[in-house]
């Protein structure tokens, strides 16, 4: 059987995906509002699990490929897939990235954001957060019927470059909706060729992962935690979008 290059969701699926994505956005914002200095990431993860269940959902990441926590919590030089622990305490000046997946009624939402803890970020941290968030918005604006994947990836990449940030290449966005990870890949950088055409019914998780230093990353011995190669900080913002005939809907706006 040929592996599908992308998925066009049916109207019935889209109705369920819309609900799951909305719950995921609510959970993300409630979890973000719970972040406090002095809290362990394990405490935050337990709060996240309780929030997701209180909304009637299931934490998608728990047990996904063996992942051992409710959500991903990635501090500072951790790019993505950080695992909560009792010994990791959130401190003033940290960048905390939360990546939240919620499964509801056989559909899946996936969204992420990074927050600066306590006070105003310095210029570098501000550039990192602004550049990554604005790149996501640029990607959303380019994610429309008739464009190709290169338009989307190029829009994200351009903002990253303008902010002089390292654009992670080893991890990319993805189709999403029924399963957590569906085709196609949604890269944050361009490669030769235009890529697939974006078509109505596609649901894409756009998720720039940008670094203050090198784009290079490595995976720790726990086989999950992804860190920057130079120890500099990273940020991560993610929304799910539905490509429509005439307009694109951000499903995780909240
Ligand atoms: Mg994702």
Would you say residue 127 has pLDDT above 80?
yes
Mean pLDDT of 83-94: 98
Of 148, 109, 149, 114, the C-alpha closest to 32 is 114
Three-state DSSP at 122 gives coil
Cα 139 to ligand 1 centre (Å): 14
Would you say residue 201 has pLDDT above 70?
yes
Cα 68 to ligand 1 centre (Å): 17
Cα 180 to ligand 1 centre (Å): 8
Would you say residue 1 has pLDDT above 60?
no
Question: DSSP state, 164?
Answer: T
Would you say residue 73 has pLDDT above 90?
yes
Query: Residue 27: which H helix or E strand, with range?
Result: helix 11-34
Cα 9 to ligand 1 centre (Å): 18
Determine the Cα–Cα distance for residues 53 and 25; give it in Å rounded to an integer.
14
* Report field, pTM of the whole predicted structure over 0.95: yes
Q: What are phi and psi of 32, to 5 degrees?
A: -60, -40
Q: Which residue has the tokens 């010994």?
A: 87
- Provide DSSP, 124-172: HHHHHHHHHHHHHHHHHHH--TT-BHHHHHHHHHHHHHHTT-EE--SS-
Cα 206 to ligand 1 centre (Å): 7
Two tokens, residue 15: 């109705």
Q: What is the pLDDT of residues 133-175, one digit of tens each?
A: 999 999 999 999 999 999 999 999 999 999 999 999 999 999 9
> What's the first-to-final CA gap in the chain, in angstroms?
38
Three-state DSSP at 140 gives helix
Q: What is the pLDDT of residues 14-26, one digit of tens each?
A: 999 999 999 999 9
Q: Supply the mean pLDDT for the chain.
A: 97
Cα 138 to ligand 1 centre (Å): 17
Two tokens, residue 129: 């957060």
Per-residue pLDDT at 3: 73
Q: What is the pLDDT of residues 53-69, one digit of tens each?
A: 999 999 999 999 999 99
Cα 183 to ligand 1 centre (Å): 12
Q: What is the pLDDT of residues 185-200, one digit of tens each?
A: 999 999 999 999 999 9
What residues contact 69, with CB distance under 8 A and at least 6 apart?
45, 61, 62, 83, 84
* 75: preceding bond cis by omega (within 30 degrees): no
Q: What are phi and psi of 158, to 5 degrees?
A: -60, -40
């Amino acid at each position: 059987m040929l592996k599908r290059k992308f998925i066009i969701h049916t109207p019935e699926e889209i109705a369920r995906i819309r609900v799951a994505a909305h719950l995921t956005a609510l959970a993300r914002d409630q979890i973000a509002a719970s972040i406090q200095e002095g809290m362990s990431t394990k405490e935050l993860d337990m709060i996240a699990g309780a929030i997701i269940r209180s909304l009637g959902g299931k934490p998608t990441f728990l047990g996904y490929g063996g992942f051992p926590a409710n959500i991903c919590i990635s501090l500072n030089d951790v790019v993505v897939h950080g695992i909560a622990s009792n010994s990791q305490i959130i401190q003033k000046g940290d960048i905390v990235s939360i990546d939240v997946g919620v499964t509801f009624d056989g559909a899946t939402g996936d969204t992420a954001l990074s927050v600066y803890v306590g006070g105003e970020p310095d210029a570098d941290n501000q550039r990192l957060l602004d550049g990554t968030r604005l790149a996501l918005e640029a990607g959303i604006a380019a994610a429309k019927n008739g464009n190709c994947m290169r338009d989307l990836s190029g829009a994200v990449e351009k903002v990253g470059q303008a902010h002089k940030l390292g654009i992670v290449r080893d991890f990319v966005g993805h189709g999403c909706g029924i399963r957590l990870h569906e085709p196609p890949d949604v890269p944050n950088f361009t490669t030769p060729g235009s890529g697939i055409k974006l078509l109505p019914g596609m649901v894409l998780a756009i998720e720039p992962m940008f670094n203050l230093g090198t784009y290079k990353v490595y995976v720790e011995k726990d086989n999950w935690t992804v860190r920057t190669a130079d120890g500099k900080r990273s940020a991560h913002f993610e929304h799910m979008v539905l490509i429509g005939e005439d307009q694109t809907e951000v499903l995780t706006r909240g």
